[in-house]
């Protein structure tokens, strides 16, 4: 009896997987230099324009500082600096995407500086391809996958890994 | 008329726990042998209101149990019973159990029936064992009651003679009669013989008494419930119908109620103890330990509400009134504003500022509780532990009225318990050792709280053996915590006890000695923004001082400018600010910069260097200002560009969305909406110490 039920569930499971191929999830894409990245749109709280930050002393250079976001102190991280893509000057179209991350059951809010926000794309989950392994040459730990959109490659970022400052941040801090 | 009583449960629990604390304190004071009737009265009243409350809310186990305690206490109060140590111990244990019961009810858990039987047995042994005459009297009545129990009576004859003061305690006899009527068929006969002439009558006094006949299938508990609140303020007798109803005069002579009521209790106890295995007296000991752990559990959950002095609320309301007036004045001014009214506007704004500040202070004040909330549990702890350890220890408390923020209080209690335990266990020696060392056999542990600057300081000192710096160092080397070549000052040796995995106790006990704890204590204190320091003299005793900020939300700050950046220095850590002249500046080994302030050489910490601020305007020491700051006993001069102004700042956590940054205790939002970091002076000093060698390597 129990076996039969289990089989049933398995069947349902594979049915669901087939159904999922039609499931689309939405990503907000943005430009860094010549590359296009995407983050899960459900993690995006808001998009702001760049504003001066208050610097925090003795932290990695890509942690730009903190801003006052309606009474909350929110850190701002420059993704160009984070990915070592060369620094760009902040212009009026420089955007800050405010993201929500979850770590250890706590929700944090952080802002990332990007060149410009591009568009919202629907990505078919089955078409997301795992990031190729470049060995130690290129760190891909915070890339959740790659996908194509009109012949452009979009790198989908894992927000939680990207912004987990406690481990990544402090080890980079070593002088 | 049905009121949802559940909404009052929380209040009842809080009051009961307070009552239990009062009982405990009272019992411990009795302990010292100094028997004052006022003390017993306090304990009795606390037990009584718990009983009453429990009855009202239908927690019958609690109310029945308390009733037995109350009987015992009543005998003590009337001087019919000597206050002896065993009695007090039994009562203390019962207080513990009551607390467990209430916690269980609060958490919707089952009450430990076995433990209840044990406690009741112990109480009954006290009740019956010592006073043989009372025991005789009760057994006699027990028989009568037993028959009642098996053979439910058709009704009750109640003689109810309120004292004149009954109505002053907020009770209304008519309400009681009305409630009785709901239980069954009530016949009321009033006795108005006590009624004075109209001329002499006090309208607030109760002169009447009643002879009530309640017919129907009514349990004795239900009747007791109704009278629970007035028991103290009346004479009464309750007899099943069919028995000889005694005349009112006799009852008054008898002072029945407190002797009468427990009989039923006794019956039940006898039944229970017959069915349950007889619990030997020793069994109470492990149970006691259990209670200690449950007590801690309670402390952790903490109460979510807060009791506030009415005075504080009145001040608050006044303040809000003022604020509203100022606001309407300003809005009137704004409606048709002309340039010549600028002065008026300014006065208005000044008022607004003052009111906001006052309002803020009084709101903060509401959160302030006296430290006695934490201290009050220590007499019991010391009492229990010292007898367990076989030591003679006197606990001194001072500064209990020092007020601290509620959050701080809640988080402080566990570390304090730990420190006091340590003092008892490791600090104070056994009596014979003390006498041999030329000290009185009675050791002293002193808990002291006081304000210093913007901090509250809590000191735990003992006159025990003190810390042995060499021994600590040896131990740390043995445990591999430090290197043999490490040179440590005496103070640094003391600090070793805060390292994880460090314990000096030769053998483990269940009190302390596991080597976890002191590091946790320090972490807890530091997470509150405080610090902890040890002073000790070998053979004379040690003192552990905890420094804590008064409140965690707002601080008085001094804004300083370094380049384009603004930082806030807590005003309490600033001693003064000076302009340096070249002749004040000295160098140690060509590198370390110091300056002479009166008789002292202080190191200079250059803000722009340790925070890497490129835009700093002042790079030569004579160009900027030096702010003399103090943190954890160390002083230094903070070199900055300029002082901006003093203001109160709201502390915002950096960690909520970010993480801790060294040298920074938090952030705040300035008037223009930008974020300024609040400096953590001790952290800054640490940072500057690390910074110097680092710089050399980079160069």
pLDDT of residue B550: 65
* Shortest distance, CA B674 to any CA of chain A (angstroms): 6
* Shortest distance, CA B384 to any CA of chain A (angstroms): 40
* Shortest distance, CA A107 to any CA of chain B (angstroms): 8
Distance CA B292, CA B12 (A): 22
Residue ranges of chain B whose CB lies within 8 Å of a chain A CB: 565, 610-613, 652-654, 656-659, 661-664, 667, 669, 673-677, 687, 694, 698
ipTM of the complex: 0.75
Distance CA A148, CA A151 (A): 6
Convert the pLDDT of each residue in B259-305 to its tens digit: 444 444 444 444 444 444 443 444 444 444 444 444 444 444 444 67
CB pairs A-B closer than 8 Å = 72
Closest residue to B659, CB basis, from A53, A71, A169: A169
Residue A69 belongs to some domain of the structure: yes
Which residues of chain B have a pLDDT value below 50? 1, 131-151, 245-303, 506-515, 693-699
Q: How many domains does chain A have?
A: 1
Tell me the average pLDDT across A64-89.
86
Alpha helices in B131-231 (DSSP H): 132-150, 173-183, 220-227
Whether residue A13 is predicted with pLDDT greater than 80 in this model: the reply is no
Residue A15: partners with Cβ closer than 8 Å, 6 or more residues away: none
Q: Are B663 and A57 a contacting pair at CB < 8 A?
A: yes
- Please say whether the dihedral angle defined by the alpha carbons of residues B263, B265, B268 and B270, taken in this order, is positive or negative: negative
pLDDT of residue B583: 81
Residue A80 belongs to some domain of the structure: yes
Convert the pLDDT of each residue in A84-124 to its tens digit: 888 888 888 889 999 998 876 778 899 999 998 988 998 88
The answer to whether residue A85 neighbours chain B at the CB level (below 8 Å) is no
Task: Identify all chain A residues contacting B565, using CB atoms and an 8 Å cutoff.
Answer: 54-55
Tell me the average pLDDT across A142-159.
85
Distance CA A110, CA A52 (A): 15
The answer to whether residue A57 neighbours chain B at the CB level (below 8 Å) is yes
Q: In what order do the strands lie in the sheet with B664-669?
A: B642-650, B554-562, B565-570, B675-679, B664-669
Say how many CA atoms lie within 13 Å of B694 toward its Cβ. 11
Q: Are A71 and B613 a contacting pair at CB < 8 A?
A: no
* Shortest distance, CA B274 to any CA of chain A (angstroms): 51
Tell me the average pLDDT across A5-27.
55
Q: Are A52 and B674 a contacting pair at CB < 8 A?
A: yes
Q: Which residue of B has its CA nearest to A77?
A: B658
Q: At what angle do helices B406-422 and B518-527 cross, to 10 degrees?
A: 160
CATH code of the domain containing A161: 2.40.50.180
Distance CA A146, CA A169 (A): 24
Predicted model pTM:
0.46
pLDDT of residue A120: 92
* Shortest distance, CA B356 to any CA of chain A (angstroms): 19
Residue A157 belongs to some domain of the structure: yes
Closest residue to B612, CB basis, from A58, A74, A169: A58
pLDDT of residue B4: 67
Beta bridge partners of B221: none
Q: Are B656 and A72 a contacting pair at CB < 8 A?
A: yes
The string over B548-573, giving b where at least 16 C-beta atoms fall within 10 Å of a residue's C-beta and e elsewhere, is bbbbbebbebbbbbbbebbbbbbbbb
pLDDT of residue B504: 53
Structural domain that includes position A54: 24-172
Contact B605, B636 (CB under 8 A): yes
Q: Are A58 and B663 a contacting pair at CB < 8 A?
A: yes
Q: Are A68 and B675 a contacting pair at CB < 8 A?
A: yes
Closest residue to A54, CB basis, from B659, B675, B698: B675
Task: Identify all chain A residues contacting B675, using CB atoms and an 8 Å cutoff.
Answer: 53-54, 65-68, 73
pLDDT of residue B297: 40
Distance CA B152, CA B215 (A): 12
Residue A125 belongs to some domain of the structure: yes
The answer to whether residue A31 neighbours chain B at the CB level (below 8 Å) is no
Distance CA B624, CA B643 (A): 9
pLDDT of residue B453: 58
Residue A48 belongs to some domain of the structure: yes
Closest residue to A68, CB basis, from B613, B659, B673: B673
Contact A50, A90 (CB under 8 A): yes
Closest residue to B657, CB basis, from A54, A59, A109: A109
pLDDT of residue A39: 92
Task: Identify all chain A residues contacting B613, using CB atoms and an 8 Å cutoff.
Answer: 55, 57
* Shortest distance, CA A17 to any CA of chain B (angstroms): 36
Distance CA B21, CA B28 (A): 11
* Shortest distance, CA B668 to any CA of chain A (angstroms): 8
Q: Helix or strand or coil: residue B49? A: helix
Closest residue to B658, CB basis, from A57, A68, A75: A75
Helix or strand run (H / E) with residue A118: strand A116-124
pLDDT of residue A41: 92
């Amino acid at each position: 009896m129990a076996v039969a039920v289990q089989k049933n569930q398995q069947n349902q499971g594979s049915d669901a997987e087939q159904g999922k191929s039609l499931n689309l999830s939405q990503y907000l894409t943005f430009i860094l230099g010549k590359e296009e990245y995407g983050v899960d749109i459900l993690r995006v709280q808001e998009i702001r324009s760049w504003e001066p930050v208050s610097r925090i002393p003795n932290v990695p250079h890509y942690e730009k500082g903190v801003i006052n976001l309606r009474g909350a102190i929110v850190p701002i991280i420059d993704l160009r600096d984070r990915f070592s893509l060369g620094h760009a000057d902040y212009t009026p179209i420089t955007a800050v995407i405010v993201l929500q991350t979850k770590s250890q059951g706590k929700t944090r809010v952080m802002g990332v500086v990007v060149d410009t926000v591009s568009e919202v794309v629907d990505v078919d989950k089955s078409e997301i391809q795992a990031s190729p392994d470049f060995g130690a040459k290129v760190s891909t730990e915070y890339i959740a996958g790659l996908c194509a959109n009109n012949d452009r490659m979009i790198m989908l970022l894992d927000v939680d890994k990207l912004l987990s400052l406690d481990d990544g941040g402090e080890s980079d801090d070593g002088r | 008329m049905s009121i949802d009583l559940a909404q009052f449960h929380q209040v009842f629990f809080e009051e009961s726990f307070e009552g239990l604390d009062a009982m405990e304190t009272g019992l411990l004071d009795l302990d010292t042998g100094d028997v004052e009737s006022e003390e017993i009265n306090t304990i009795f009243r606390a037990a009584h209101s718990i009983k009453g409350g429990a009855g009202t809310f239908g927690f019958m186990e609690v109310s029945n149990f308390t009733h037995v305690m109350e009987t015992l206490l009543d005998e003590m109060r009337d001087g019919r019973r000597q206050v002896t140590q065993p009695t007090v111990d039994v009562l203390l244990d019962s207080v513990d159990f009551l607390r467990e019961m209430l916690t269980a009810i609060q958490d919707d858990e089952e009450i430990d029936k076995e433990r209840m039987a044990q406690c009741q047995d112990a109480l009954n042994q006290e009740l019956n064992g010592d006073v043989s005459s009372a025991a005789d009297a009760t057994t006699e009545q027990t028989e009568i009651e037993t028959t009642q129990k098996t053979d439910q009576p058709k009704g009750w004859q109640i003689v109810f003679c309120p004292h004149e003061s009954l109505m002053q305690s907020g009770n209304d006899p008519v309400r009681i009669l009305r409630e009785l009527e709901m239980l069954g068929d009530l016949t009321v006969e009033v006795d108005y013989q006590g009624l004075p002439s109209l001329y002499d009558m006090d309208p607030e006094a109760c002169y009447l008494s009643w002879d009530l006949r309640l017919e129907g299938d009514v349990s004795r508990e239900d009747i007791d419930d109704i009278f629970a609140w007035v028991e103290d303020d009346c004479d009464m007798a309750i007899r099943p119908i069919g028995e000889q109803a005694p005349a009112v005069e006799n009852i008054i002579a008898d002072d029945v109620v407190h002797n009468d009521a427990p009989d039923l209790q006794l019956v039940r106890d006898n039944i229970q103890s017959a069915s349950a295995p007889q619990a030997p007296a020793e069994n109470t000991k492990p149970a006691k330990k259990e209670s200690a752990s449950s007590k801690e559990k309670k402390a952790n959950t903490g109460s979510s509400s807060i009791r506030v002095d009415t005075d504080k609320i009145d001040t608050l309301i006044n303040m809000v009134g003022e604020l509203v007036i100022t606001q309407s004045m300003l809005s009137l001014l704004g409606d048709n504003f002309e340039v010549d009214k600028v002065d008026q506007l300014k006065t208005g704004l000044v008022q607004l500022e003052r009111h906001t500040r006052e309002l803020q202070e009084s709101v903060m004040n509401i959160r302030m509780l006296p430290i006695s909330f934490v201290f009050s549990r220590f007499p019991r702890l010391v009492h229990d532990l010292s007898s367990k350890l076989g030591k003679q220890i006197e606990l001194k408390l001072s500064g209990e009225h020092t007020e601290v923020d509620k959050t701080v209080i809640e988080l402080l209690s566990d570390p304090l318990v730990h420190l006091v335990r340590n003092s008892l266990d490791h600090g104070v020696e056994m009596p014979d050792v003390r006498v041999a060392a030329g000290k009185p056999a009675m050791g002293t542990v002193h808990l002291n709280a006081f304000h210093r600057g913007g901090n509250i300081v809590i000191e735990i000192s003992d006159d025990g053996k003190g810390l042995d710096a060499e021994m600590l160092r040896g131990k740390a080397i043995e445990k591999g915590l430090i290197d043999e070549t490490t040179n440590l000052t005496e103070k640094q040796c003391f600090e070793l006890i805060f390292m994880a995995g460090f314990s000096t106790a030769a053998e483990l006990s269940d009190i302390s000695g596991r080597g976890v704890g002191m590091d946790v204590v320090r972490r807890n204190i530091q997470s509150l923004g405080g610090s902890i320091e040890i002073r000790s003299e070998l053979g004379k005793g040690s003192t552990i001082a905890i420094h804590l900020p008064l409140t965690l939300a707002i601080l008085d700050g001094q804004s300083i400018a370094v380049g384009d950046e603004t930082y806030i220095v807590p005003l309490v850590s600033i001693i003064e600010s000076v302009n340096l002249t070249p002749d004040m500046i000295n160098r140690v080994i060509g590198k370390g910069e110091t300056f002479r302030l009166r008789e002292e050489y202080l190191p200079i910490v250059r803000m722009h260097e340790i925070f890497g601020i490129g835009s700093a305007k002042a790079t030569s020491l004579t160009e900027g200002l030096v702010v003399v700051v103090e943190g954890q006993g160390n002083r230094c001069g903070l070199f900055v560009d300029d002082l901006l102004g003093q203001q109160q700042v709201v502390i915002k956590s950096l960690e909520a969305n970010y993480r801790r940054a060294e040298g920074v205790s938090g952030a705040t939002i300035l008037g223009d909406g930008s974020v300024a970091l609040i400096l953590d002076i001790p952290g800054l000093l640490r940072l500057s110490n690390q910074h110097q060698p680092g710089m050399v390597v980079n160069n």
